[in-house]
Amino acid sequence: MKSVDTKVREIKLFIDGEYVTSSSHSLFEVKNPATQEVIAKVHEATKEDVDRACKAARRAFEEGPWRTMPVKERCEKIRRMAEIIMERREELARLEATDVGKPYSVAFEKEIPRSAHNLKFFADFIEQLGGEVYPMEEEYLNYTRYEPVGVAALITPWNLPFMLTTWKLGPCLAAGNTAVIKPAEATPLTVSLLGEIAKEAGIPDGVVNVVHGFGPNSTGEFLTAHPEVDLISFTGETTTGKAIMKTGADTLKRVSFELGGKAANIIFEDADLHKAIPVSIQAAFLNSGQVCLAGSRILVQRSIFDEFVARFKKAAEELVVGDPQDPRTNMGPLVSEEHYKKVTSYLEIAKQENATLITGGKRPSNLPDYLKNGFYLEPTVYVHENPEARICQEEIFGPVVTIIPFDTEEEAVQIANNTQYGLNGVIWTENLQRAHRISHQVRAGTIWVNCWFVRDLRAPFGGFKKSGIGREGGKHSLEFFTEAKNICIALQ
Ligand SMILES: NC(=O)c1ccc[n+]([C@@H]2O[C@H](COP(=O)([O-])OP(=O)(O)OC[C@H]3O[C@@H](n4cnc5c(N)ncnc54)[C@H](O)[C@@H]3O)[C@@H](O)[C@H]2O)c1
Ligand SMILES: O=C/C=C/C=C(\O)C(=O)O
């Protein structure tokens, strides 16, 4: 199936249970990154539209019945959303692949089922949660309730739009909050359907609202400044997190931030390269490297350096770069022209920094005619001795990785920690003690040993340093989305 999707969709805002047009009637275009064809015209939410959405969410929160409904009933509705997502799996996967440029197979096999699971997991989790009772003297009963906070702004990026939005929406709703969602302007297609999916699942009007638009001086900023918004869950760039924190400070909003990364993927000389190489290829090039958890700095012990580089190069060159809709495709284009320019600017920086290009660094030469305008870049691998180089420090967020040699464990840890980021790290070794030792020393929120991107939704997920504030996952998400209330009752 070719990426030629001639249908241009009109995407409206979803406010208080219905699709509405922008009050300014201003529409922006969304393109298929594989072809540059326009696939959608999207209503941009004005300040007035954002105000309507926030007030609808406030009404739905205060007046109920969402907040006060028995938890079982609320969770059944959220589970129904998950079922509808699975019923619409093919359509959602097709839209996500067309919008983001990711392989349809990845969207269909992984991201859409994970999105449904995000909702089901938090519904089940909250339903089974017990409370706390503090034994006091006999004449008192002291216990804790976890109550919803209010109206949440959920602001998400373009790399995994549906998966990351449902990852926030699940705990937000299960805890009894209401939401105003703002997906990334580059990829609003799948997330625009969440309001109607919620409605079909029986969730009351006003509980799930979706507004579209840009960040600064647009929908995103209006939302983060809005006095009715109590909490902001944001995933995106570190610099955007700073801007959101400033805007939200005036009204003292609670924030949870999942931000950028530049993970070290450390390959020790005793690593099993049969496993380490294919997984490191995934970690480098999944979703065209547009993954916050990407293993974009590969640290390799010098004794196996040449062998690793040769084998990694061969595996990178075997990846099929092509049409996202084609089942043989491993890697599609980058998401947009703007992002393509950012990523390819690093090819120039790499040249200036005297990095050694191992493979890639240009558009693939064998793309069919209908993809000639797509934002394609070959899987690109550099070697650099200097971990301070910009390509080793800055988040490129594309199919570009740098391999850096090291001699000792201490040096590996020092290079791994020499970054402003701390989202995750990856370690390859067959030595148990070393695996634990290095895991403890790398300053990052998640460490994967001899694997990558293996997720248990109960586990804390988030970043050290400039990679975030707070944690998502299981009870950690619920801590953010609830207010703990202590009740102390005199029994006589
Ligand atoms: N830590 C994680 O879990 C995680 C997951 C995925 C992506 N990311 C990060 O996201 C980035 C890529 O995504 P992106 O380019 O879409 O991020 P981005 O920060 O540019 O945009 C994310 C969202 O924020 C909105 N936004 C931008 N400026 C805003 C403002 N001033 N006020 C309010 N909203 C604003 C955007 O419109 C978009 O919806 C990378 O840095 C990546 O590492 C992190
Ligand atoms: O690009 C970033 C990927 C984030 C993944 C998650 O938030 C997750 O798996 O829960």
Q: Is the pLDDT of residue 176 over 70?
A: yes
User: Which residue puts its alpha carbon closest to atom 34 of ligand 1?
Assistant: 220
Angle at 437 between CA 431 and CA 439, to 5 degrees: 100
Q: In angstroms, how far apart are the furthest CA atoms of the chain?
A: 82
pTM of the model: 0.97
- Residue 122 CB less than 6 A away from ligand 2: no
pLDDT digits (tens, 9 = 90+) for 24-72: 999 999 999 999 999 999 999 999 999 999 999 999 999 989 999 999 9
Neighbours of 439 (CB within 10 A): 14
- Residue 224 CB less than 6 A away from ligand 1: yes
Provide the strand spans (E) within 207-338: 208-210, 231-235, 254-258, 264-267, 297-301
pLDDT digits (tens, 9 = 90+) for 413-470: 999 999 999 999 999 999 999 999 999 999 999 999 999 999 999 999 999 999 999 9
Report residue 353's pLDDT band, with 50, 70 and 90 as the boundaries.
very high
- Residue 383 CB less than 6 A away from ligand 1: no
Q: What is the pLDDT of residue 6?
A: 66
- Residue 458 CB less than 6 A away from ligand 2: no
- Residue 260 CB less than 6 A away from ligand 1: yes
Catalytic (active site) residue 258: yes
- Residue 455 CB less than 6 A away from ligand 2: yes
Average pLDDT over residues 109-119: 98
CA-to-CA distance for 33 and 38, rounded, in angstroms? 9
Ligand 1 centroid vs 151 CA: distance in angstroms?
A: 20
Return the closest-CA partner of residue 83 out of 92, 71, 95, 96: 92
Ligand 2 centroid vs 236 CA: distance in angstroms?
A: 11
Chain-wide mean pLDDT for the chain?
A: 97
pLDDT digits (tens, 9 = 90+) for 80-105: 999 999 999 999 999 999 999 999 99
Ligand 2 centroid vs 164 CA: distance in angstroms?
A: 7
Do 322 and 2 meet the contact criterion of CB atoms below 8 Å apart?
no
User: Which residue puts its alpha carbon closest to atom 2 of ligand 2?
Assistant: 292
User: Which residue puts its alpha carbon closest to atom 38 of ligand 1?
Assistant: 184
Return the closest-CA partner of residue 96 out of 152, 166, 20: 166
**Mind giving me the DSSP string for 71-96?**
HHHHHHHHHHHHHHHHHTHHHHHHHH
Ligand 1 centroid vs 315 CA: distance in angstroms?
A: 30
Average pLDDT over residues 210-237: 98
The tokens for 183 are 């997906």
Residue 329 has what DSSP assignment?
-
pLDDT digits (tens, 9 = 90+) for 385-398: 999 999 999 999 99
- Residue 182 CB less than 6 A away from ligand 1: yes
- Residue 160 CB less than 6 A away from ligand 2: yes
Q: Is the pLDDT of residue 360 over 70?
A: yes
2-16, 119-133, 358-372: which range is least confident on average?
A: 2-16
- Atom number in ligand 1 closest to CA 186: 16
Do 481 and 167 meet the contact criterion of CB atoms below 8 Å apart?
no
Q: Beta strands 140-148 and 482-490: pairing type?
A: antiparallel
CA-to-CA distance for 10 and 234, rounded, in angstroms? 26
- Atom number in ligand 2 closest to CA 287: 1
- Residue 220 CB less than 6 A away from ligand 1: yes
**Bridge partners of 489?**
141
Length of the chain as a residue count: 492
User: Which residue puts its alpha carbon closest to atom 9 of ligand 2?
Assistant: 455
Ligand 1 centroid vs 232 CA: distance in angstroms?
A: 13
- Atom number in ligand 1 closest to CA 224: 33
Ligand nearest to the CA of 217: 1
Ligand nearest to the CA of 258: 1
Q: Which amino acid is at 68?
A: T
Report residue 7's pLDDT band, with 50, 70 and 90 as the boundaries.
confident
CA dihedral 263, 264, 270, 271 (to 10 degrees): 30
Ligand 1 centroid vs 25 CA: distance in angstroms?
A: 25
Q: Is the peptide bond before 65 cis (omega within 30 degrees of 0)?
A: yes
| DSSP reduced 3-state for 302 | helix
Q: What is the pLDDT of residue 3?
A: 55
Ligand 2 centroid vs 49 CA: distance in angstroms?
A: 30
Q: Is the pLDDT of residue 240 over 90?
A: yes
State how far the alpha carbon of 467 is from the alpha carbons of 196, 237, 470, 488, in Å. Answer: 33, 9, 10, 39
Q: Beta strands 464-465 and 421-422: pairing type?
A: antiparallel
Q: What is the rounded end-to-end Cα distance, in angstroms, of the chain?
A: 73
Q: What is the pLDDT of residue 1?
A: 53
User: Which residue puts its alpha carbon closest to atom 35 of ligand 1?
Assistant: 215
CA-to-CA distance for 102 and 94, rounded, in angstroms? 10
User: Which residue puts its alpha carbon closest to atom 4 of ligand 2?
Assistant: 292
Task: Return the CA Rg of the chain.
Answer: 23
Catalytic residue chosen out of the listed positions 96, 258, 378, 472? 258
Backbone angles phi, psi at 260, to 5 degrees: -75, 175
Do 426 and 409 meet the contact criterion of CB atoms below 8 Å apart?
no
| DSSP reduced 3-state for 328 | coil
Q: What is the pLDDT of residue 2?
A: 58
- Atom number in ligand 1 closest to CA 236: 10
- Between 92 and 131, whose confidence is greater? 92
CA-to-CA distance for 286 and 103, rounded, in angstroms? 9
- Residue 201 CB less than 6 A away from ligand 2: no
- Residue 184 CB less than 6 A away from ligand 1: yes
Ligand nearest to the CA of 183: 1
CA-to-CA distance for 245 and 407, rounded, in angstroms? 41
Q: Beta strands 151-155 and 231-235: pairing type?
A: parallel
pLDDT digits (tens, 9 = 90+) for 401-411: 999 999 999 99
CA-to-CA distance for 268 and 436, rounded, in angstroms? 13
Q: How many CA atoms lie within 13 A of 400 on its CB side?
A: 29
